[in-house]
């Protein structure tokens, strides 16, 4: 029976890629380690190596094919002792052993090997599963009811863009606009960004303004703060926010507090940005949501966008803001596509929530990747006759509680959704605010859907259990609605 | 810069540091490269002796320079004495770290700076503020937590700033000012404005990790920064020898190829000479440089110091034999031929300034309660 060679994943979060080139043809003999193909994603290019020895019997996906899903069979390999007859026999039951593995320079800190299988299992795990949800559901939503964009003038054209591209465009536009804006961080320049968010910036703005730093978060965060004291506008990228903890003292004690300690004399116009929260299968030290941590601190503004449009409009606002801004991105969202308004200067107000979906039965409040679960749950609940209003906070500090309270006064029920841990979470703050300011309107206790109160496990099944899911949100909304 | 009268040991170290990384001549090496035999470490000596070493010859000060140095150092000392007094009266709260004994460092360094150069330091900062020209009234009123203080009373002893005088704090976390000062230097280079950043920190901070992260970036990018390590021999109550594996802090830049020099921080002329050299180094694009100022604080670490970690004799010896202000006073009375009365006149003027500041700081009202909620964010 021929062996299937599967489309490999370049990184834990890759869902599809382009089969750029075959370096073998049908009939070629290959040995383990031979390069057989090249694969491209928007992040990187890699070579695919044969894992087993044999003959390339059939190429199933032609070169140049875009959007090949991870784990799709791309070729068939005949092993020693197998022949054309085996190939013909092999109708339905091919054996698949993931006979290729990535040999590329994977963009992420974590190696990519062996992720494909888990990803495929996840994608088949039902409509509330994590891996396949976001894109399809959002596309469906766009068709049903486009989200309101009150900041966008009527008649504006939209382009489809990934969050990654939107963030890059935001930085590039602000750098064109203001010569005192610069970007610094690990691998932001020549490597083009560990997650390719700064792709192309070095070419346009040069090494003076796009600066690769050594791996010294505490040091370069402090250096950025000093430069901001002098009036420059640094955009400091942390490769992930997990590493930003090294710089916590400079972020809190220097960036956030100096304006106050200086009696208003000296502010700190800086943006700290980077991916936050769980990616996929990178375990406890690389999977943490810092939303609650930073939103605790007066002097900081904290933004955690979900869509590409919000990422763009809010990052531009953050760079222009004269205060230190914590900008929490998400690796899983980077590759997702959303409509982005085609405007010369699309800037969104910081501190303004957005009603992502209108409804009257219950309010779901979330932000960042939590919106994925919130919107999926709302979709599922709608089918069962529960019509949810979904609020995307977008900014966590200052928090737009007015929008939340107005919605809860209408629905009388509220569920919050976030990836972070339950104790002292963003959701517990919202619950406390609602209790104080909308007590008489609540028909049920406010429930918070959060990550579980454990460090992030590595094993695929445990990781899934640790993260909040649309299923959890559905259950919580039903609980506050006293439905089944 | 004259080299006579310096010990050959310090001279060889300095020359090596200066020539490192360049082709051509290397400084003379006195110490042969053979296994060392239990040579006494600097750390083994009493702290008082190390302050006698100097890589820089004191330059000759004119009458006017000595007058200015005397006046400014005396202002800091009298100011700090008054602050100590107000603290004792309960008018200053919290932490209060006095600069008494170290006056020559900030005054000598400030002499070497130009308009636009920035200064940043940790929390023993009153002397730095006065040296940069900040108003004694505003500093003292901040100490008493009044609305006329530089931070409207919201910062206190450790957190004051003046954009006008290019004083960038006043930072309360040991070591944290080093990346910040390095960032100011980064801004200077980015803007190509010819300014340098003088980043002060103490011997205690010299063991902080972020200091070395900063050194690395500063040299990597050749940022115009002068690191001034004020080695007053004690980080709180722990002597340098008890806290540092290597006690010659001027060498701490070696693995980054940053030159470093040890300076007699009790002699304002030596400080000025070293600062001139270092400022020129940084300003001319050669990158960062370290000056280790050997100095001494007469008072406790803060106002609540048990004074158990060093002897009274040690403190007294520094005061009587090395006092920075007394040295200048003797020159004024000696080579500059001022009369005792003329010197007393300066003392009187300085006292008047300090008394005025103290008076202001006691009578200025506390901040309006509404100030609790201001200055958290800049209006966008």
CA-CA distance, B83 to B90, in Å (whole number)?
11
With CA atoms as reference, the chain A residue closest to B371 would be A263
Domains of chain A: 3-123 (2.40.50.100), 133-143+352-480 (3.40.50.920), 157-341 (3.40.50.970)
Residue B117, pLDDT score: 98
Q: Using CA atoms, how far apart are residues A154 and B77, in angstroms rounded to an integer?
A: 68
C-alpha distance from A419 to closest chain B C-alpha (Å)? 28
Banded pLDDT at B55 (limits 50, 70, 90): low
pLDDT at site A95: 53
Q: Do A254 and B176 touch (CB under 8 A)?
A: yes
Cβ of A289: how many Cβ atoms within 10 Å? Answer: 26
pLDDT of residue A16: 86
Confidence tier at B49 by pLDDT (50, 70, 90): very low
Answer whether A298 sits within 8 Å of B179, measured CB to CB.
Answer: no
Structure token pair of residue B50: 């190390």
Distance, C-alpha A28 to centroid of its chain? 40
Lowest mean pLDDT among A375-389, B202-216, B302-316: B302-316
Q: What is the largest CA-CA distance in chain B?
A: 68
Separation in Å, CA of A319 to nearest CA in chain B:
11
> Is the CB of B180 less than 8 angstroms away from the CB of A218?
no
Q: Which of A245, A250, A261 to mutate to test the interface with B (most CBs of B within 10 A)?
A: A261
Predicted pLDDT of residue A127: 34
CA of B44 vs chain A CAs: smallest distance (Å): 33
Is there a contact between B212 and A204 (Cβ–Cβ < 8 Å)?
no
Q: Which of A232, A254, A323 lies at the smallest CB-CB distance from B187?
A: A232
Domains of chain B: 55-358 (3.40.50.970)
Q: Phi/psi of residue B134, each to 5°?
A: -70, 150
Residues of A carrying an active site annotation: 217, 286
Does residue A471 belong to the interface with chain B, where contact is any CB pair within 8 Å?
A: no
Q: A with B: how many residue pairs have Cβ under 8 Å apart?
A: 154
Does B287 touch chain A if contact means CB atoms closer than 8 Å? no
CB–CB of B178 and A222 under 8 A? Answer: yes
- B187 contacts A231? CB cut-off 8 A: yes
Helices (H), B193-267: 209-220, 240-243
Residue B32 pLDDT > 90, yes or no?
no
User: Which chain B residue shows the shortest CA-CA distance from A317?
Assistant: B380
Q: Please, are residues A216 and A163 in contact by the beta-carbon 8 Å criterion?
A: no
Q: How many angstroms separate the CA atoms of B297 and B103, rounded?
A: 9
Report how far residue B324's alpha carbon sits from residue A251's, in angstroms, rounded to the nearest whole number.
Answer: 38
Q: How far is B140 from chain A (nearest CA, A)?
A: 15
B286-302 pLDDT per residue, tens = 999 999 999 999 988 88
Biggest CA pair distance of chain A: 83
Using an 8 Å Cβ cutoff, are B86 and B149 in contact? no
Give the integer Cα–Cα distance in Å for A340 and A383.
28
- Interface check for A250 against chain B (CB to CB < 8 A): the answer is yes
| Residue at token pair 């002329």 | B269
Q: Give A134→chain B minimum CA distance, Å.
A: 34
Please give the average per-residue pLDDT across B326-355, as a whole number. Answer: 97
B positions 180-209 inside 8 Å of A (CB): 180-188, 190-191, 197, 209
Using 50, 70 and 90 to split pLDDT, how confident is the model at B304?
confident
DSSP A441: G
ipTM entry: 0.83
Contact yes or no for A265 and B151 at CB 8 A: yes
A54 part of contact set with chain B, CB < 8 Å: no
Burial (Cβ within 10 Å: 0-12, 13-18, ≥19) of residue B366? exposed
**Residue in B173, B179, B184 nearest the CB of A219:** B179
Q: How far is CA A351 from CA A39, A50, A314, A348, A448, in A?
A: 41, 51, 10, 9, 21
Residue A261's closest chain B neighbor by CA? Answer: B155
Backbone φ and ψ for A365, nearest 5 degrees, come out as -110, 125
Across the interface, whether the CB atoms of A350 and B169 are under 8 A apart is answered no
- CA angle (B293 as vertex; B288, B17 as ends), nearest 5: 45
Name the residue facing A214 among B220, B375, B380 (closest C-beta). Answer: B220
Q: Which two tokens stand for residue A380?
A: 């599922």
Cβ contacts of residue A200 below 8 Å, gap of 6+? Answer: A168, A172, A192
Using CA atoms of A239, A245, A250, A251 in order, give the dihedral in degrees to the nearest 10. 80
Distance CA B32, CA B30 (A): 6
Residue stretches of chain A with pLDDT short of 50: 97-147
Beta carbons of A225 and B168 less than 8 Å apart: no
* Cα of B270 vs its chain's centroid, Å: 13
The residue of chain A with its CA nearest to that of B213 is A219
Helix (H) or strand (E) holding B167: strand B167-170
| Nearest-10 Cα torsion for B347, B350, B351, B354 | -160
* Cβ atoms of residues A355 and A382 within 8 Å: no
Range 298-327 of A in CB contact (< 8 A) with B: 298-299, 301, 320-323
Q: Chain-wide mean pLDDT for chain B? A: 87
Percent of chain B residues past pLDDT 90, beyond the cut: 80
Say yes or no for a CB contact (<8 Å) between B378 and A208.
no
- Tell me whether residues A266 and B184 touch, CB distance under 8 A: no
Restricting to A residues 183-222, those with a Cβ less than 8 Å away from any Cβ of B are 208, 213-214, 216, 218-222
Portion 84-123 of B in contact with A at CB < 8 A: 118, 120
């Amino acid at each position: 029976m021929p062996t299937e060679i599967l489309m490999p994943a370049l990184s834990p979060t890759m869902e599809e890629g382009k089969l750029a080139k075959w370096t073998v043809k049908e009939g070629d003999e290959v040995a383990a380690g031979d390069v057989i193909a090249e694969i491209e994603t928007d992040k990187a290019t890699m070579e695919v190596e044969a894992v087993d020895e044999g003959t390339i019997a059939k190429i199933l996906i032609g070169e140049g094919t875009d959007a090949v899903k991870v784990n799709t069979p791309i070729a068939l390999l005949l092993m020693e002792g197998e022949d054309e007859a085996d190939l013909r026999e092999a109708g339905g039951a091919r054996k698949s052993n993931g006979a290729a593995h990535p040999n590329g320079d994977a963009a992420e800190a974590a190696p990519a090997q062996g992720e494909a299988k888990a990803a495929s299992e996840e994608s088949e795990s039902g409509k509330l599963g994590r891996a396949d949800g976001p894109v399809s559901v959002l596309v469906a939503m766009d068709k049903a009811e486009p989200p309101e964009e009150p900041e966008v003038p009527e008649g504006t054209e939209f382009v489809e863009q990934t969050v990654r591209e939107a963030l890059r465009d935001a930085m590039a536009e602000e750098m064109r606009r203001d010569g005192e804006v610069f970007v610094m961080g690990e691998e932001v320049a020549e490597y083009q960004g560990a997650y390719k968010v700064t792709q192309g910036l070095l070419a346009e703005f040069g090494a003076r303004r796009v600066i690769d730093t050594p791996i010294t978060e505490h040091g370069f965060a402090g250096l950025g703060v000093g430069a901001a004291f002098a009036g420059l506008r640094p955009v400091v990228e942390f490769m992930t926010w997990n590493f930003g903890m090294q710089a916590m003292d400079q972020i809190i004690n220097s960036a956030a507090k100096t304006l106050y300690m200086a009696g208003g004399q000296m502010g700190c116009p800086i943006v700290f940005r980077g991916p936050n929260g769980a990616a996929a299968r990178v375990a406890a030290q690389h999977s943490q949501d810092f939303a609650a941590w930073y939103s605790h601190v007066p002097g900081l503004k904290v933004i955690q966008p979900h869509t590409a449009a919000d990422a763009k409009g809010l990052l531009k606002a953050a760079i222009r803001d004269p205060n230190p801004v914590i900008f929490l991105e998400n690796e899983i969202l980077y590759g997702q596509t959303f409509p982005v308004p085609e405007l010369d200067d699309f800037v969104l107000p910081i501190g303004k929530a957005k009603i992502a979906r209108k409804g009257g039965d219950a309010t779901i409040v979330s932000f960042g990747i939590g919106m994925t679960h919130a919107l999926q749950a709302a979709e599922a609940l709608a089918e069962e006759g529960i019509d949810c209003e979904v609020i995307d906070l977008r900014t966590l500090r200052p928090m737009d509680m007015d929008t939340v309270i107005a919605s809860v006064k209408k629905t009388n029920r509220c569920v919050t959704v976030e990836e972070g841990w339950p104790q002292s979470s963003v959701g517990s703050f919202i619950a406390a605010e609602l209790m104080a300011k909308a007590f008489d309107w609540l028909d049920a206790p406010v429930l918070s859907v959060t990550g579980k109160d454990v460090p992030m496990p590595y094993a695929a099944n445990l990781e899934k259990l640790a993260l909040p899911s649309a299923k959890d949100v559905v259950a919580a909304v039903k609980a506050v609605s006293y439905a089944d | 810069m004259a080299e006579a009268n310096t010990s050959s040991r310090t001279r060889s170290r300095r020359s090596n540091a200066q020539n490192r990384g360049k082709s051509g001549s290397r400084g003379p090496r006195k110490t042969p490269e053979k296994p060392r035999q239990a040579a006494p470490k600097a750390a083994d000596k009493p702290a008082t002796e190390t302050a006698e070493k100097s890589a820089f010859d004191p330059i000759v000060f004119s009458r006017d320079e000595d007058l200015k140095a005397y006046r400014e150092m005396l202002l800091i000392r009298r100011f700090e004495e008054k602050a100590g007094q107000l603290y004792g009266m309960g008018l200053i709260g919290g932490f209060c770290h006095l600069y008494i004994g170290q006056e020559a460092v900030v005054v000598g360094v400030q002499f070497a700076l130009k308009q636009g150069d920035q200064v940043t330091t940790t929390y023993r900062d009153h002397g730095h503020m006065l040296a940069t020209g900040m108003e004694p009234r505003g500093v003292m009123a901040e100490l008493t937590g009044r609305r006329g203080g530089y931070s409207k009373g919201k910062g206190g002893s450790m957190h004051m700033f003046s954009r006008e005088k290019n004083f960038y704090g006043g930072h309360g976390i040991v070591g944290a000012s080093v990346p910040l000062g390095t960032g100011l230097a980064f801004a200077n280079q980015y803007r190509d404005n010819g300014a340098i950043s003088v980043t002060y920190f103490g011997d205690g901070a010299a063991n902080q990790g972020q200091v070395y992260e900063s050194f690395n970036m500063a040299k990597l990018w050749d940022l115009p920064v002068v690191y001034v390590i004020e080695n007053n021999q004690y980080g709180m109550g722990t002597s340098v020898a008890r806290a540092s594996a290597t006690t010659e802090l001027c060498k701490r830049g070696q693995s980054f190829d940053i030159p470093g020099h040890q300076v007699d921080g009790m002699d304002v002329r030596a400080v000025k000479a070293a600062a001139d050299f270092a400022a020129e180094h940084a300003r001319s694009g050669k990158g960062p440089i370290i000056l280790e100022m050997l100095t001494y604080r007469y008072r406790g670490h803060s106002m609540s110091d048990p004074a158990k970690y060093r002897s009274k004799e040690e403190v007294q010896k520094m005061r009587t034999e090395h006092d920075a202000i007394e040295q200048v006073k003797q020159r004024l009375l000696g080579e500059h031929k001022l009369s005792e009365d003329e010197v007393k006149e300066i003392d009187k003027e300085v006292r008047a300034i300090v008394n005025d500041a103290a008076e202001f700081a006691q009578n200025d009202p506390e901040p309006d309660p509404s100030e609790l909620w201001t200055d958290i964010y800049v209006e966008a």
